Amino acid sequence: MERNNLLDILPVSPFQEAIFFNDFFGEDSDLYLEQVQFIIDEVMTYELFVETWRRIIVNNEMLRTLFRWEGMNEPVQIILKHYEGNFTFYDEPSNPKILLAERFKCKDLSCPPFHVALCVHDDNASQIIISNHHILYDGWSNSILIGEFVQTYFDLKNNAEPVPTLKSEYKTYLKHIFAFPVEEQISYWKNKLSNLENCTKYFFTDKKDPKNKNSDKIRCMYYTLSNSLKHKLDSFVKSKNVTIASVIYMSWAVVFSRYTQNKDILFGTAVSGRDIPLVGITNTIGLYINTIPLRQQLDVQSNILDHLHLIIKEVSERRKFEHFPLPEIIRAINNKSVNDLGLFDVLILVENYPIDKGVLSREKSPIHSIQSFDAKSANRLTIEFRSFIEYEVVFKIKDQGPDSKFIKLYEDFLEVMSLIIDYSQAPITILLTSNLEGEVVAYAGE
């Protein structure tokens, strides 16, 4: 690495630091290796493929970023002025062996852990494989990458000069989050998480067997919402002035309460971290995401719609505290009821990144079959709600229970979501009863 090629040397963010040490000292060799692949109905030349991605790298500093830690008290990230990129061409469709090899090319953090491969899919299409280490960027960034790839590729193909998108520098983000008073953040989280002894934090009551090597293996179950339920949800969110996230959070809170018989419950939520006043941050590739707790105290006499608005209010109020690292939250509350599993064992992600609606709807964008390989979760259950062209629910399960157990859990989740939509003026108590049919009949006229 030549000194005259150094653009900037920055500290790592708290979330990056957690990833770094978990990756460096952990036993799981691919814990934070991520990948997205998709098909484009174009026969791409390798030359145009490389030129497209080099333009994208020039416009996105995190794709030129590497990490140093040896001989230092804390790791740092180094942004290079120039980086040619790392690309591979395969004269065949992708397969599990290729995908695995591409992911592991991003294991070394001493060079930018970002790699792109071009595969010949068939006579009429190409396949793009984008691999990265999670320490570089989050899921939102994938949508930006794919969008910029589409725009840049077709501009170059049509002999037009691509217009760079306005970006925010990562160091500006770091200054913002480091400037917020720690004492105020600690005070907020202590208040929100007081009296946790009465709160149910763990959905799973059994303990994992540390001798069982399969206990950390993750299996995924995918479900697509029916078109009728998708349209009902969209219409409900618009007409009631609520958010999809509030419906998802409340649906899980009710299911959690049903299973544990407690109306004071806690689970994790992933936040984009981009709701801060920095110009261009929504267009910037980087790691802004964070995982923070959401506590739900269900008042059985409260109106369902009122509770949805209460969730929205709470999410809005916690926004300026959402960059505080989860380990620091746990340390701050210092509660004996928090065990070695962490603060919660279920994480909810509501993904509404600007990807399919913006990229796939363009007539000139023949992209399809997007698939992802995400960083592994530390939680026993991660529920992802993906609200793109189709609405998909993904259960990522780190548990050896039978599939039927989680199929039933998904069915309950879907049932509660439908009830919230159909009977939003009813009290919450109708969602918690086991005899729903008799309880909701009085509200059938909504």
Confidence band (pLDDT; 50, 70, 90) for 340?
Answer: low
Please say if the pLDDT value at position 363 is more than 60: no
Q: Give me the pLDDT at residue 365, please.
A: 55
Query: What CA–CA distance (Å, rounded) separates 410 from 417?
Result: 11
Predicted confidence at residue 37, as pLDDT, reads: 93
Whether residues 222 and 306 share a domain: the answer is yes
Residue 64 structure tokens:
């030129």
Interacting residues of 249 by C-beta distance below 8 A, sequence separation 6+: 269, 294, 296, 311, 348, 350
209 confidence band (pLDDT: 50, 70, 90): low
DSSP 357-425: IIIITSTT--EEEEEEEPPPPSSSEEEEEEESSSEEEEEEE-S-S-HHHHHHHHHHHHHHHHHHHHTTT
Burial of 402 (0-12, 13-18, 19+ CB in 10 A): exposed
- Spell out the residues 6+ positions from residue 35 whose beta carbon is closer than 8 angstroms to its own: 99, 102, 103, 129, 130, 131, 132, 372, 373
In a domain, 175, yes or no: no
Tens of pLDDT, residues 28-71: 667 889 999 999 998 999 999 999 999 999 999 999 999 999 88
Tally of CB atoms within 10 A around 254: 26
Inter-CA distances, 312 with 193, 244, 318, Å: 18, 10, 10
156 in any annotated domain: yes
Highest mean pLDDT pick, 216-220, 377-381, 383-387: 383-387
In which order are the strands placed within the sheet that holds 264-271? 219-224, 391-397, 381-387, 346-351, 264-271, 290-297
- 166, 201, 227: which is the final residue of a domain? 166
277, part of any domain: yes
Q: How high is the pLDDT of residue 366?
A: 75
pLDDT band at 356 (very low <50, low <70, confident <90, very high): very low
More confident position, 313 or 372: 313
CA angle (219 as vertex; 216, 225 as ends), nearest 5: 140
CB atoms < 10 A from the CB of 133, how many?
A: 26
Q: What is the pLDDT of residues 294-320, one digit of tens each?
A: 999 999 989 999 999 999 999 999 998
Q: Does 174 reside within a domain? A: no
The helix (H) or strand (E) run that includes residue 184 is helix 182-192
Q: For the ranges 58-67, 238-247, 271-280, 357-366, which has the lowest average pLDDT? A: 357-366
Selected residue with higher pLDDT from 403 and 291 = 291
Instruction: Specify whether 123 is located in the same domain as 252.
Output: no
Shared domain check, 250 and 123: no
Pair 221, 359 in one domain: yes
Are residues 54 and 64 in contact, defined by beta-carbon separation less than 8 angstroms? Answer: no
- Considering the domain architecture, whether residues 161 and 187 belong to the same structural domain is answered as no
Query: Does the residue 173 lie in any domain?
Result: no
Give pLDDT, residue 84: 95
Identify whether residues 148 and 187 lie together within a single domain: no
Q: Is the pLDDT of residue 375 over 70?
A: no
Q: Are 88 and 192 within one domain?
A: no
171 assigned to some structural domain: no
* 336: CATH: 3.30.559.30
Does 443 score more than 70 pLDDT? no
Mean model confidence pLDDT for the chain:
88
**Domain interval for residue 375:** 183-443
Of 140, 166, 192, the residue that ends a domain is 166
For residue 404, the model assigns a pLDDT of 87
**For residue 23, what pLDDT band results from cuts at 50, 70 and 90?**
confident
**More confident position, 337 or 104:** 104
Most confident option among 8-22, 230-244, 354-368: 230-244
Q: Please tell me the predicted confidence (pLDDT) of residue 399.
A: 72
Residue 176: inside a domain, yes or no? no
**What CATH number corresponds to the domain at position 29?**
3.30.559.10
Residue 347 CA, chain-centre distance (Å), reads: 10
How is residue 156 written in tokens? 């170059």
pLDDT digits (tens, 9 = 90+) for 119-171: 998 888 999 999 999 999 998 899 899 999 999 999 999 999 999 999 999 99
Among the ranges given (14-23, 194-203, 357-366), the one the predictor scored with the smallest mean pLDDT: 357-366
Q: Is the pLDDT of residue 441 over 70?
A: no
Same domain, 193 and 86: no
Residue 387 banded pLDDT, cuts 50, 70, 90:
confident
| Domain count across the chain | 2
Q: Do 249 and 386 reside in the same domain of the chain? A: yes
Pair 286, 147 in one domain: no
Q: Which of 117, 140, 166 is the last residue of a domain?
A: 166
Structure tokens at 142: 């994938």
DSSP letters, 82-142, are: -----EEEESS---HHHHHHHHHTT--TTS--EEEEEEEEETTEEEEEEEEETTT--HHHH
Q: Are residues 214 and 147 in the same domain?
A: no
68 and 216 both lie in a single domain: no
Reported as a pLDDT band with limits 50, 70 and 90, residue 245 is very high
| Position 383 pLDDT exceeds 50 | yes
- Would you state the pLDDT for residue 186? 95
Q: What pLDDT does 208 receive?
A: 56
What local confidence, expressed as pLDDT, does residue 257 receive? 94
Which of 78-82, 216-220, 255-259, 332-336 is the least confident region? 216-220
**Percent of the chain scored above 90 by pLDDT?**
65
Domain assignment present for residue 214? The answer is yes
